[in-house]
Chains A and B, each alone.
Chain A
Amino acid sequence: MDRATLGFRLTQIAADSARLEPGHGIQPSDPGPVIEAVLRELQPLHIDLLYYDLERVEIIDPPYLSFLTQLQGSCRVIGVRMVCVHMQPSTAFALASWLDRPPSIEFAGGMWI
């Protein structure tokens, strides 16, 4: 399956970083195919930093958070640091209401790390 089918867009934004924009096609309940496709596209770019853009993600429920955690872990394995950026206030508000411990994912306000 190509990335359009899996529902994400990957753009290299600097020599050492790229931005991943997830679409509505992402299936957090079946993370395997998406994670493999992302890693397959990341490796040839030789980047150190991946920005996961949450600007259009409205809800982060437990399956989605688990998907993000798995994706971050997989990125670390291939030497890429993943940082989630642009979380919307309403999404953060809802997510903070059910989190019982700090998530292991790295968050930043924007792509300036």
Chain B
Amino acid sequence: MTPYHSRHLTERLRQLFGGRFDGLAQHLEEPARVHFGGGNNLLDEEEIGDLSLELQHLIAAQFGSADPFSCDSPEHEALQSFFINLARRVLARGGEIESLVRYTQTVQHKLIAGMEQINEIDFTRSRSVLAFVSTLFTELLLSIFRAYLGQKESTIQAQEEELRETSTPITEIWKGVLTLPIIGTLDSNRTLVVMDSLLNRIAQQHTQVVVMDLTGAGSVDSLVAHHLIQMVRAVQLMGAEAVLTGIRPEIARSLTHLELDLGGVRTRASLADGLKDAFRHIGVEVVPLRGGARHGREDRYRGRGRDERADDER
């Protein structure tokens, strides 16, 4: 807003800034009740009373401040914070941005009407008063929109994060064997998340084999292939064996076309083949139960890994 000192203050503006504010809260309660109370179930009566009273004090502080036109004054910042906090509270409780905008617009009208009634001065006809209040509330509406966009952005980020985590579940399918189904596209952000979590799991669980299944992977361009090879290398550097499975013909063709060095990378046709290979690597052989019935544990699997055998003996 324009600095106070460069403004020509009309008589009405002087009267507005020096006016009485007692009882204004009652005028401000109605818009809150209409847009947030009752069936909207966003604020209860006590909250509506409290916020209207707080708003009255903040408006009185802004109008009575050394420079009511300033957007940088502490009084204006306090008023902005009030609307930002209100927006966050209402949105967090499931309210709509539309209710907030309509509330703010109604407060603007009720403020002038209320001041008119309390001070018995005709503010409605003053263009300077209307212009001042309109400019002030435009600023406040912008603050509400910024809060709304900020909240939307953090919601989207949280959803993306959740989607990334759920779309790449790392599962310990056997002691020492991790499986990582890669579904969709492997972009840089996702590679970072997956690698971070995969490498830490390898270190924590002393993983010997990681089976990466590409059955659900999207198309593979040079960047995706680079990420894939980077993941395989990192797994190998951690001392684990990497097995790539489910490479579809078109992906195989892309990898060949890109002339990527897959030397030292074990590949198997399907996830089942990859798991078989992983078990063989750790010295485990899975065999069907005899006659389908429950038997002693020796019949369920043969040649179990060192650690499992030791666990059983204990």
Contacts and interface: CB of A to CB of B under 8 A. Distances in A.
Nearest to B208: A109
Interface residues of B, number: 21
Interface stretch (A20-28, A42-50, A73-81, A89-97): A89-97
A87 B195 CA distance: 14
Contact of A102 (B199, B203, B208, B263): B263
B284 interface: no
Contact of B261 (A95, A101, A103, A110): A101
Contacts of B199: 89-90, 92-93
B175 interface: no
Nearest to A92: B237
Interface in B193-212: 195-196, 199-200, 202-203, 206-208
A109 B206 contact: yes
Contacts of A95: 233-234, 237
Given A85-B239, A87-B239, A107-B239, A92 B234 contact: yes
B59 to A, nearest CB: 53
A11 interface: no
A85 B203 CA distance: 11
Contact of A92 (B207, B238, B263, B264): B238
A93 B196 contact: yes
Contacts of A92: 199, 234, 237-238
A104 to B, nearest CB: 10
Contact of B233 (A89, A90, A96, A109): A96
A84 B240 CA distance: 12
Nearest to A100: B261
B267 interface: no
B155 interface: no
Contacts of A93: 195-196, 199, 234
B170 to A, nearest CB: 13
B236 interface: yes
B256 interface: no
A107 to B, nearest CB: 5
Given A89-B200, A97-B230, A109-B208, 10 more contacts: A87-B239, A92-B199, A95-B237, A96-B233, A102-B236, A102-B264, A108-B239, A109-B207, A109-B240, A110-B206
